Structure 1
Amino acid sequence: MNLSAQEQERYSRHLALPEIGMEGQQRLRASRVLIVGAGGLGSPAALYLSAAGVGTIGLIDGDTVDLTNLQRQILHTTASVGIKKVDSARECLMALNPNQNLHIYPFRLSSENAGEIVRGYDFVVDATDSFGSKFLISRACHATRKPYSHAGITRFFGQAMTVIPGKTTCCHCIFHEDEAPPEAAPEGPLGAMPGVIGSIQAIETIKVLLAIGTPLYDTLLTCNTLTMEFRRVTVRRDPRCPLCGTL
């Protein structure tokens, strides 16, 4: 899949990186990434993956834009209030990079549709804000053997991890579904917090798609922006995990 002269100019900074170059940029153009959630985490992840030249991006979200979203969800503007988040996101992303295929799903991911949707992509970005959604995504990715990026944020804190189903520690190994706390009213987060973690998710996506660097496999990266401390916590597969356990 050759790049046009305009695309070569657009991605010239990537082409200058030996880890990416022409071959890597062509691979990004041929890649398909699903982003579940067009909110705080999904906004920076979608913007940077679109700008990076990922050829096909799927965006799924059933919510509409609310005024309270605008403090952190940078895909949307004041004019977007009251319209579907995926419609607002499509306008923003196509203005940023018209050389992409953008598939929008104006509904929530569910146990009924997750397998069919996830199967059509190379990588999944979990940009949701509830344990239920995160467990659903991990199950769908495990069933279809699709790598994914897990992330979560609250107040001034965030975390991220990258998973290759059946090969690395998965979300169910760390967070047990039957022990997940009940969903509570949101507290925060700091508006720029999802920008930090969502950007890390975009970087992890690119690393996995291009097989470069060291993704956050078997590693939970945590971030405290009050102290600006990042920690890498080694996590191990649980042999009793309901998804990838061996017992």
Structure 2
Amino acid sequence: MNEALSFLEEWSREGMLPWTAHCAAVKHFGLSHAAVERLALKNGLFPARYQRNRMMIDVHEQLRLFSSRVAVIGCGGLGGYVIEELARLGVGHLVAVDPDVFEEHNLNRQILATPNNLGLAKVEAARQRVEQINPAVTVTAVQDAFGLANGRELLAGVEVAVDALDSISYRLELAEVTGAVGIPMVHGAIGGWYGHVATQFPGEETVQGIYRHWVAGKGIEQQLGNPAFTPAIIASIEAAEVCKILLGKGELLRNRKLSIDLLEMEVHEIPYDQPVKLVRAA
């Protein structure tokens, strides 16, 4: 590794490592892209691909992101954008969980959906996309539905779970499991022109409060559908919340819900700081 580090230091410019040098080190020393990125960051070299992060995220924080493991539960409208943004941000390990394959109705809004991907597992499309845009990021693709039965196993070693589900019952199960294993959950939901985001830490019940009147069904998305822009906006806020959690900085959407109306361009903050009693479907 000393020889590889000397190589990287020789090729770096003003503390930044160009992608061409990164790839040359992969080829010359037989290392993975992840190994080269880890070596660079641990020794204070900033990969040039992240240079626009540099004014808000220093090299030690970039290493923190690279060393993190985040689960994205659902790889459709919200999840595809979350995965794209976290990979570009430099989060080192993503666990992508979704049981479905792409269908034609996904093409209007899901960034991972293309005509060539119709019939392809969403998690496999996520893995392939991340390999294209940032091969230093590892993706564990799990083509399965998240639930109470497998939730603990899927979240093993995960630091943050992102809710990109389209089912209220499953996201309530995600809230239950994240609370049980002691990790934060970033919740997002969309429907038509509308969406909301909230962050819940263990012991909090924001998500349960949001859905306290729910009794059955998937939710308003099934009635309103979704255009292309709503998932992109809500997913971006979710990705920002994940970044802040991992870096321990900024003000999080805890004990409150950020509600966004894109039709009237209104944003509201709704507090959820009181214990609630959840009404479940029979």
Q: Please confirm whether the aligned pair reaches a TM-score higher than 0.5, indicating the same fold.
A: yes
Give the Å deviation of 1:160. Answer: 0.4
Matched, 1:11 2:55: no
Q: 1:123 matched to which residue of 2?
A: 160
In structure 2, what is the equivalent of residue 173 of structure 1? 209
Unmatched 5+ stretches in structure 2:
1-37
What is the CA distance between 1:181 and its match in structure 2? 3.8
Is residue 142 from structure 1 mapped to residue 179 from structure 2 by the alignment? yes
Quote the Cα distance in structure 2 between the aligned partners of 1:224 and 1:173.
20
Q: Which structure 1 residue ranges, 4+ long, deviate > 4 Å from structure 2?
A: 4-7, 239-242
Q: 1:170 to 1:233 in 2, by over 3 A?
A: closer
SS in 1 for 2:129: helix
Displacement of 1:241 in angstroms is 6.3
Residue type at the aligned position of 2:87: S
What residue number does 2:5 align with? none
Q: Do the aligned partners of 1:169 and 1:217 also contact (CA within 8 Å) in 2?
A: no
Matches of residues 8-87 of structure 1 in structure 2 within 5 Å? 8-17=47-56, 20-87=57-124
Compare 230-239 and 207-216 and name the one that shifted more. Answer: 230-239
Higher RCO by CA contacts (8 Å cutoff, separation 6 or greater) = 1
2:132 aligned partner: 95
Unaligned ranges ≥5, structure 1: 243-247
What is the CA–CA distance in structure 2 between the aligned matches of 1:174 and 1:153, rounded to whole Å? 13
Contact 1:86/1:106 (8 A) holds in 2? yes
Q: Which has the larger radius of gyration?
A: 2
- How many residues align? The count is 238
User: Which has more helix, going by share of residues?
Assistant: 2
TM-score by length of 1: 0.90
Amino acid at match of 1:49: L
Percent of pairs with identical residues: 29
> Separation in 1 of the partners of 2:156 and 2:274?
24
Residue type at the aligned position of 2:54 = L
Match of 2:14 in 1: none
